[in-house]
A and B are shown apart, each in its own frame.
Chain A
Amino acid sequence: MANLRGGGFHAGSSMSHVERRHHLIVRITHWVNALALTIMVGSGLRIFNAYPAFARKGDTFCCYPFEGHRIPEWLTFGGWLAGARNWHFAMMWVLVVNGLVYLGFVYLHGEWRDLVPRRGIVRDAWQMTRFYLALRRDHPAQGKHNALQRLTYFCLPYLAIVSVLSGLAIWKPMQLAPLTALMGGFVWARYWHFLAMLALVALSLGHVFMVFAVDPYSLRSIVTGGYDPSKSPEARNARPFINLRARPRPEPPGGGDA
């Protein structure tokens, strides 16, 4: 993608220059993650359907209201239990290696600075919430990500760690017995694994919703890497489904490339 800075003036459009937002490694790991996580969730739900409950046989379980109810088949992947297990135990390596590549990259390359919570994150997140609820008119100032995004993205590695540890505890309750015990036993390890999955799915669905409802221009940045800041949600004052279109805006005083 050509860098249009310094020459990118198009008739009929406002001054816009495309900045590089996501490094190639971030883009690749993002899409590998999207595919692998989808297969992991689908196959995991198929495995769950073989025993869609948490109680140890002969016992009851306190904390799951849908004991014995299968997940709808169309949400599952793998066809049958063995197929789902084979996919799950193959894809787990893809997911873990991919996650480590991503975390290693953002650590070494400095992107972690855009992802860790900053001072005042709670106040900023509250202001974003107020804006989305239309209790506030103007979009709070933000950098690459707003405060709600930062909090979400920051939580993801921790959810991943819970998923991996609880998954290991279910896979090897005998050889990794101390880990399983740390999770509260086999039954609870399955529960934590399930809850971590639910949280990851909820955050992912929220993420996809916000992409299409608030910042569809960010799709470009996660495919080609380019992002036009003049179309950012902040520039558009965008709430879900409000101000989706980027309108030519007056040039900010003293700004631009002129």
Chain B
Amino acid sequence: MSRLWLPRRRHLAEGLGLDRRAFLAASLRAGGGAAAALALAGCDWKGPRAAQSLLRSAEHWNERVERKLFRPGARNVPSARAVAAGAKFPSYFIADELPVWDEATRGVWRLEVSGLVGRPQRLTLDDLKLLPRTEARLEHFCVEGWSAVAVRTGVRLSDLARHVGLSPDARYVDFQSFDDGYHESWDIESAMHAQTLIVYGQDGELLSPEYGAPARVYAPVKLGYKCTKYLTRIVFLAERNGGYWSDQGYEWYGGV
């Protein structure tokens, strides 16, 4: 397969790779009037630090609210009139180069399901396809503000969890990839939602590399950046494990 060299996309608009302090500095520079007043009131880094801790406690508060709002029975049902995105479905990725699993050098792709489970497994794509299949037309919500409708085919994570004997101690799950260290961890409630899928098909075809082949996470309960593509490991954990974008300042919870 020829390598697709694409420019570094402005994923999540402008993933500048800033840390929290840098984005706050950027916030305060960009904000003009009100922000400048805040920064001046602080005189040095105290202003921004105060704002930083304020924003962090707001994020914790919001996570509590979002977890209260979470209903396992909620279902995403796109309107019948909603046009499917098809080839217009955006295909962002993190690395400069489109991640493609090369069997010649890496061997057969396997999805490791491990951590707090009774029977850890390393599943091939064929193994995945043998598990109960779920297919649904779902709306994808991106942190940028767009949404897109596609048909997703895959395995419910809750079915997979039963398959590997999930321990009740698992409160979080980390979805890891071969895409430049990309990963995102989730709360177990969202992970066990009936529309949280390990997807290997989109719009009736096998997932293509642009959309995260061989398999990716997809769930309408989370924003797109929480749904790791190019999946290699699903690790059930007792503690949360951050994530690629959540470590840079995006909300860890990222619920929809």
Interface residues of A, Cβ cutoff 8 Å to B: 35, 38-39, 42, 46-51, 53, 56-59, 73-74, 76-87, 89-90, 93, 170, 172-177, 185-187, 190
Contacts and interface: CB of A to CB of B under 8 A. Distances in A.
Given A51-B142, A174-B74, A86 B55 contact: yes
A73 B85 contact: no
Interface residues of B, number: 60
B94 to A, nearest CB: 15
A60 B88 CA distance: 12
A19 to B, nearest CB: 31
Nearest to B88: A58
Nearest to B52: A86
Interface of A is mostly: helix
Nearest to A184: B79
19 contacts: A51-B144, A51-B145, A58-B83, A73-B30, A77-B27, A77-B34, A78-B31, A80-B249, A82-B23, A86-B58, A87-B27, A89-B251, A172-B66, A174-B74, A174-B221, A177-B74, A177-B75, A177-B76, A190-B145
B103 to A, nearest CB: 31
A44 B81 CA distance: 28
Contacts of A186: 139, 141, 147
Nearest to B35: A77
Contacts of B142: 51
B141 A78 contact: no
Contacts of B31: 39, 42, 77-79
A90 B69 CA distance: 17
B92 to A, nearest CB: 12
A176 B82 contact: no
Interface stretch (B9-17, B39-47, B158-166, B170-178): B9-17
B90 interface: yes
B148 interface: yes
A80 B14 contact: yes
B131 interface: no
B151 to A, nearest CB: 13
Nearest to B142: A51
B256 interface: yes
Nearest to B195: A174
B122 interface: no
Contact of A174 (B14, B141, B146): B141
Contacts of B32: 42, 74, 77
A78 B23 CA distance: 8
B61 interface: yes
B7 interface: no
B13 A56 contact: no
B251 A56 contact: no
A82 B62 CA distance: 15
Contacts of A58: 83-86, 88-89, 148-149
A49 B249 CA distance: 18
Nearest to B71: A175
A190 B146 CA distance: 10
A56 B23 contact: no
Nearest to A76: B30
Contact of B59 (A38, A42, A89): A89
B133 interface: no
